[in-house]
Amino acid sequence: MRPNVLIVDDDPAFLRLIQKDLEGFSESFNVLTADAGNAALEILKKTYVSFIVSDLRMPGMDGFELLSSILKKFPDIPVYIMTSYDKPKTKDVVIKSGAAGYLRKPFTAIELFGEITKTLNKKAEGGSLHNVTLETFLQLIEMEQQTSTLRVVDKKEDRGGVLFFRNGELMNARVCDRQGKDAAYEILSWSNVSLSIEQDCVFQEKIIQGDLQAILLDAMRVKDELAEQMEMEEDAADGGEILLDAPLAEEAGDPAVVKPEPAVREIPTRKPATITKVRPVKKEAESSKLSPIDTIRMKIKKTIGGRDGILDITHDQSWDALIDQASNIGNALNYGRLNALYVNREANDQFVIVPGEETIVISISPDAPWDRMIDVLG
């Protein structure tokens, strides 16, 4: 997903000119335009924008008012102010008002491109990650008590959001103009994401209450409930259909004619009872009937959700020698009983081993949250 750059100016000729001049840099970013401050805010409500350039003098909402609104609702988006009415103190006032930069008209497309790329590169100074497991990375931020702003891009749906951390705590989240816990839940529901990391955070006060682990678990629960609801609705929609052999009496021309009751037959398609396949087994008696493999699969699914990264679960006694060695090391160090073991042979050859009467081997994908599996199985 290329960054979106928003240019705001009430002069339509200037907007057409600057958009045409920036076409040569289309591989680096997309250019959006707005002819008024209110129009710009409407775009920001629906679109993930990375950089804004606004004229200072505009009818209705001027550049200062727009800047103030953006700082309140979208504080992480850098705003450059441009003007042709340059005075000695104008730049100082603009910068003190919270703008990230200042441009004097006229300027060239090369100059604007330089300011955009410089700012965007700074916003990703902490690096970029692709195809990552977001939950694992967030736990790392919490563990290392980092202060950072994570810009998350969902490559599947081509959308973006922002997570704000200070000293390892999740302070706030934003998706377009929505902030808070709901925005965090939405971001955490995305899979196949890329991250850019800025080593700063604009929020001093904690907007999202609660610790990160609880938020992650809640987000996964909400995601699983939605997925289960959708699957139930699909199953219900595939339930038995009813066909009428005769028209309804109301459709007959003569009301005096009494029509026989229409014969009804039910097509033996899949019945709604099949919905029970997707519901978790809760009764202890029913759980006891599950095989050890099914029990482990259900436990991981319930705690981690659909993004567990499990490729296969099998019985494999060939790992017993390794388990014995690991158990001996653990006993020597007084670590206690071995409950689960993570093995990384190669980048695409990873396993979680569960000892028992029959050794269970869980083959997982490279981005699987193996550390959370170890906690679940422990």
CA distance 377 to 311: 17
pTM for the predicted model, two decimal places: 0.59
Mean pLDDT of 178-206: 90
Query: Do the beta carbons of residue 171 and residue 206 sit within 8 Å?
Result: yes
CA distance 70 to 56: 14
Q: Is the dihedral of CA 123, 126, 132, 133 positive or negative?
A: negative
CA distance 216 to 81: 38
CATH topology of domain 281-378: Beta-Lactamase (3.30.450)
Query: Do the beta carbons of residue 252 and residue 238 sit within 8 Å?
Result: no
Query: Do the beta carbons of residue 105 and residue 63 sit within 8 Å?
Result: no
pLDDT in the model for residue 371: 80
pLDDT band at 131 (very low <50, low <70, confident <90, very high): low
pLDDT band at 347 (very low <50, low <70, confident <90, very high): low
Task: Locate the domains of the chain by residue range.
Answer: 4-122, 128-213, 281-378
What CATH number matches the domain at 4-122, 3.40.1410.10, 3.10.290.10, 3.40.228.10, 3.40.50.2300?
A: 3.40.50.2300
Q: Which tokens in the block code for residue 230?
A: 């959708």
pLDDT in the model for residue 349: 77
* Closest by CA position to 183, among listed 197, 196, 192, 173: 173
Q: Which tokens in the block code for residue 6?
A: 């928003």
pLDDT tens per residue, range 17-63? 999 999 888 889 999 999 999 999 999 999 999 999 999 999 999 99
Mean pLDDT over each residue of the chain, to the nearest integer:
81
